[in-house]
Structure 1
Amino acid sequence: MKLPPLLQRLNLNLGFPRLPRPQLLLHRSQHGGRSRMAVPRCSRRRRNILLVSSAVLLLVLGIFTHLYRVEAELSATWRPSPQDVIFASKPLPPPPPRDGFLYTSFELPFRTRGRDVVDRGGRKFVLASVNWYGASDERFVPGGLDVRHRREIARTVKRLGFNSVRLPYSDEMLYSNPVVDPDAVRANPDLLGRKALDVFVETARALSDEGVAVVINNHITSATWCCGADPCDSGWSNDDENSIIGGIPGVSFCRVGQTEKQWVGNWMLVMSRLKDVEGVIAADLRNEVRGIWGTMPWNKWADAAERAGGRLMEMNEGWLVVIGGTESGNDLRGVRERPVRLFVTTAGGKKGGGDGEGEEEVMGGRESATREVKDRVVYEAHVYSWSGWGSTEGRYARRKYDSFARSMRRNWAYLVEENIAPVWVGELGAPRDPGVGDATYWHNLMRFLGEANADFGYWAINPRKPHGNTTETYGLVLDDWETPVLDYRLRAMRELVDENLGAAKAHGDGWRGLL
C-alpha cells in the first residue's frame, strides 16, 4: 500500500528504515522456459560472508595443524648414537695438558690479531668457556658455593675440559651489595659475613688461582633470570636518553633504574676490585642487548660500547673488551660498516705505553691526548635452538645444515672467515634430554664451529637455577657440583677440541685452542 505524501515525508524525516525491494532473478526451468524468483540481496551478502569466514577458518586451522605437527616432530624423543652411549658409560677422559691449555702457559696480556686472540708472543689462545651463573640472580651469589668450595668448583671446570669461565653479575648486585645469606656460602666459611661484591671477587680469584681464565659479564640490570620481555633489562640503560624506553630525567619507570653513566660506573667499580687478579682477561660489556621487535640499532649500542670500553682501557689496557651482538646476541652484521674502536683520553699529554695511535688536542687551556687502543675488541654471538625465530626459514631447531650455516655466516661468522675480528659464541647449550629439534641444532652448531674454528662458551655448568631451586636442564654437573653429566654434549665438545688441535698442529702455529 502506498503511503500518503505527508506520511512519506514523516517516514523520511523520522529516519524510519526503508525495506529493501525484492530482487527478481531469472533462471531456466526444467522445460527450457524462464521463471522469476525473488531472492533478497542481503541473503547473497550473508552467503558470501559465510563462505569467506569458512575459508579463513579453514586456513587458520590448517596453519595451526601444520605448526602442531612441526612442534610435535621437533619435540619427539631423540635417541643418542651408539658413540654417545659408549662415551656415557666410561669415565670422563682427562683434560688436555696444562701447557697450551690454561692461560698460565701463555704470555699475558692477550690481544687480538685478525680473527684470533693471541698472547704477547703471538701464540693463539681459544676461549673454550663455560658459564657459571648466580651472582646475576636474586641471591647475588655464584651457584654451588653452598655445596662446594669455590676452588673445588674451579678444578671441576678444568676437569670437564674448559679453560675459561664467563662470570655474570647484575647491576642490582652493586647497588644493593648486601651481606650474603649464610646458607648460600655454607661450603665457603671464609665468605660468611661478606658482601656480595666480595664473594664475586673471591670467586673470580679462585678461578684465576686454579689457572682458569675469567671473563666478567654484565648480565642484567635487575637481579633476576635473564632474559624476559621486560624492556627495563633489555639494554645497558633504562633511565636516560640512551634507553630503549626513552627516559625522563628524574623519573624512572623501572624497579631498578639505571643511566649509562651509572652502568659505566658499575663497570669501573667491579674491575677496580679485579685489577690484581691475573686470570681476569676480559670484560663482556652487556648480555643480549635487544630492542622491542628489532628496534635496537647496532650503531647506538656500538657508541655506548666505545664509551664504556674506553674507560676500561684507561684503567687497564691489558684487558680484552667483549661486545655482543644486538637482537639478543644474534646479530653482528653491523660490525662490517661500523666496527667498535676503543679510545683513551688523558689530560696533560699522551699516556705512556700501549700500541695505539693518537692525536693531541687543547681542551680548556690544557693539552689533552686521545689515542686509539687497538687489538682489544672481541665480538660475541649467542646461538640457541630457538634463535632465528623471526626468519622465514624458521628457528634453528628446524633448519637443515645449509640453511643454518648461511645464517651463521650472515650474522657473525663472516668476521672470522674473512679474518676481520675474533668472535666468541659466548652462549650456546642444549638440554640433557633433547628433542629432535634440540639435537638437530646442537649437531649443526658443533659442525659449524669445527669448520669455523670459533671460540665458544657453554651455558651452563650449574645443575640448578637460583629461583625456586629448580633443575637446570642444560647443566653439566649433578647437584653435588662435582659429578659430570656424560652425554652427547661433552662428547661433541671434546671432539671439537680434537679437530682444532689437529688443525693447529698441521699449520704449525702452536696450540689453536683447547676445550
Structure 2
Amino acid sequence: MKRLRIVGYAIAAVCGLVVTTAASPSLAAPAGRAHPAAARPAAAAGTGTGYWHTDGAQLVDATGAPVRMTGINWFGAETGNYLPHGLWARNYRDMVDQMAGLGYNTLRLPYSNEMLKAGSTPNGIDYNKNPDLAGLTGLQILDKVIGYAGSKGMRVILDRHRPDSAQQSPLWYTPAYPESVWIDDWKTLARHYAGNTTVIGADLHNEPHAVQGGTGSCWGCGSTATDWRLAAERAGNAILSANPDLLIIVEGIDCVPDTGDPQCGWWGGNLSGARQYPVRLDVPDRLVYSAHEYATSVSRQPWFDDPSFPDNLPALWDHFFGYLEEEDIAPVLVGEFGSTLQDPRDGQWLAALMRYMGTGTGGMDFTYWSLNPNSGDTGGILQGDWTSVDTKKQAYLDPYLIPPVPPTGAAGAHPGG
C-alpha cells in the first residue's frame, strides 16, 4: 500500500526498512495537552453550505459558518483496479451509506494519473452488485461515487496519490508522468468538477519525501526540480485558474534540513518548513496544509521509545504541523493516520492524537486511513468481509465525528452522476 519512511539524516537500510541513527531533540510536553483548536466553540453539525474557504486556521462554508472534515480514506482508484476497492464485494451506495451512518462527513479519494488515461479500464468489480457502473471509465465511476456521497451530505477531497498505478513517487513527477501532465490533469479535474460543491479540495501529491542519498523532495531549497513548496504553488495556482473555489491541500515532506530542522517525520508529515517558506497562492483563503501521522505498528520511530511517551507527542505534533493552527496561520488536515492497534502503544498514540485534534467544528480536520481492510500497514475500519465494522477502532473516533447532514433537493450530485 504505502511507503518506507525516512526519519533521520544518517540512515541505513536494514531488510528493506529505512532506520534512523540520528538522535532526536527532547520534545516532551505535559500529559493530556489538547490542541488549542479543541477550545473553540462547536457550531451546527454537518458540512455547511456551498464551497468552503479558510479563515485563519478555521474552515468555513459559503456563509462563513465553521465546518470541519471528520472523514475517511477510501482507496483503490490509484491502483491497477482504477476504482475504489471493495466493489467486488458490495454495492458502492451501500458503502457510502455505511460511512455516512458511522459519522464520516468527508471522503478522501486517492487516484493516479494513469487512471485518467484512455485504456485504463476499471476492473475487480461485481457488476451484479453494481450494474450502473458497467462500461464506465474510472473517472465516471468516481463521478457516481461522488454524486451519491454528495446526496448524503458528504464532501470529497481528490488525492493525487500516485503518478502511475504501481507505486508512490518521492517527487510529484516521474519520467512517464512529467510535471506538465500532473498539472494538466489537475486542471482537467478542476474544470470537470467546477460547480459541484461536493468536491471541495485538491490534495496535490501524496507524501512527497526525500530518498536515501539526499535526492527527492525538499522544502525551501529553491530548486525548481525538487522544491515541493514551489511545485505546490505552480500546481495550486494552475488549479485555481481553472476553478477558484477549490481548497488547495499541500502535504508536508519528511525532512526539511534547508530550514535547519534536525527532526524528520513521516512521509508527508513534516510542515515545519512552512513557517519560513509558506505556500503562496494567487487566490486568498484557499490554502490547507496536510500532514500524515502513523503508529509504531506501521514503522518504529524514536519518539515511540521515549521514556515520556505518550506525553511527548503533543510537542512533537506542535513542531511538525500543529503550530500552523495554534498560530492561526492556516488549517491543517491530518489526511492519513491509522493503526492495526496490534502494539499496546498504538492505542495510546491514537487516543492522544484524537485529543490533540479536538472536538467540534473548531478541531483539526482529519481523514482516517482507511475504510479498506486491505491496507497492509493499518487494516481498516471495515473487517475482511468488507462489511463488519472494527468497533475497537471506531470507538476511538466516534467522539470526534461530525456526521453529514443530507442536503435538501438534489444539491451535491454531479451533473450526469
> Are 2:388 and 1:496 equivalent residues in the alignment?
no
> Are 2:373 and 1:463 equivalent residues in the alignment?
yes
Q: Which amino acid aligns with 1:308?
A: A
| Residue 377 (structure 1) aligns with | 287
1:120-146 Cα distance to aligned partner (Å, 9 max, x none): 222111110100000011211101222
| Residue 147 (structure 1) aligns with | 89
Extract unaligned runs of 5+ from structure 2: 1-42, 221-226, 255-266, 403-417
Deviation at 1:108, TM superposition (A): 1.7
**Which of 218, 221, 230 is the matching residue for 1:303?**
230
**Which of 113, 134, 137 is the matching residue for 2:55?**
113
Counterpart mapping for 1:211-250 below 5 A: 211-224=153-166, 226=168, 233-239=169-175
The question of whether the paired residues in 2 share the 8 Å contact of 1:331 and 1:411 is answered with yes
| Residue 419 (structure 1) aligns with | 328
Counterpart mapping for 1:288-367 below 5 A: 288-293=207-212, 295=215, 296-299=217-220, 300-327=227-254, 328-343=267-282
Residues 385 and 478 (structure 1), Cα distance of their counterparts in 2 relative to 1, 3 Å cut: closer
Q: Which amino acid aligns with 1:464?
A: N
TM-score (norm: length of structure 1):
0.61
The question of whether the paired residues in 1 share the 8 Å contact of 2:372 and 2:380 is answered with yes
Residues 398 and 277 (structure 1), Cα distance of their counterparts in 2 relative to 1, 3 Å cut: farther
Structure with bigger helix share is 1
Deviation at 1:306, TM superposition (A): 0.9
Q: Which amino acid aligns with 1:266?
A: D
| Residue 403 (structure 1) aligns with | 312
Deviation at 1:397, TM superposition (A): 9.0
Q: Secondary structure at the match of 1:181?
A: coil
The question of whether the paired residues in 2 share the 8 Å contact of 1:102 and 1:213 is answered with no
Residues 397 and 476 (structure 1), Cα distance of their counterparts in 2 relative to 1, 3 Å cut: farther
| Residue 442 (structure 1) aligns with | 350
**2 CA distance for matches of 1:429 and 1:277?**
30
**2 CA distance for matches of 1:284 and 1:234?**
15
> Are 2:29 and 1:102 equivalent residues in the alignment?
no
| Residue 152 (structure 2) aligns with | 210
Residues 324 and 268 (structure 1), Cα distance of their counterparts in 2 relative to 1, 3 Å cut: same
**2 CA distance for matches of 1:288 and 1:421?**
19
The question of whether the paired residues in 2 share the 8 Å contact of 1:396 and 1:404 is answered with no
> Are 2:92 and 1:129 equivalent residues in the alignment?
no
TM-score (norm: length of structure 2):
0.75
**1 CA distance for matches of 2:300 and 2:391?**
33
Deviation at 1:323, TM superposition (A): 0.4
Q: Which amino acid aligns with 2:130?
A: N
Deviation at 1:281, TM superposition (A): 0.6
| Residue 430 (structure 1) aligns with | 339
The question of whether the paired residues in 1 share the 8 Å contact of 2:87 and 2:124 is answered with no
Larger radius of gyration: 1
Deviation at 1:434, TM superposition (A): 1.8
Identity in percent: 30
Q: Which amino acid aligns with 1:317?
A: P
**2 CA distance for matches of 1:200 and 1:115?**
30
Q: Secondary structure at the match of 1:342?
A: coil
Q: Secondary structure at the match of 1:437?
A: helix
The question of whether the paired residues in 2 share the 8 Å contact of 1:398 and 1:440 is answered with no
Structure with the larger RCO, 1 or 2 (CA within 8 Å, 6+ apart): 2
| Residue 110 (structure 2) aligns with | 168
> Are 2:188 and 1:263 equivalent residues in the alignment?
no
Deviates more, 1:111-120 or 1:184-193: 184-193
Deviation at 1:495, TM superposition (A): 2.4
Residues 224 and 238 (structure 1), Cα distance of their counterparts in 2 relative to 1, 3 Å cut: closer
| Residue 278 (structure 1) aligns with | 197
Extract unaligned runs of 5+ from structure 1: 1-98, 227-232, 240-256, 344-372, 466-470, 499-515
Residues 304 and 184 (structure 1), Cα distance of their counterparts in 2 relative to 1, 3 Å cut: farther
The question of whether the paired residues in 1 share the 8 Å contact of 2:70 and 2:400 is answered with no
Residues 482 and 397 (structure 1), Cα distance of their counterparts in 2 relative to 1, 3 Å cut: farther
Deviation at 1:485, TM superposition (A): 1.8
The question of whether the paired residues in 1 share the 8 Å contact of 2:76 and 2:82 is answered with yes
**1 CA distance for matches of 2:399 and 2:306?**
22
Deviation at 1:184, TM superposition (A): 5.0
Deviation at 1:395, TM superposition (A): 4.3
Deviation at 1:447, TM superposition (A): 2.6
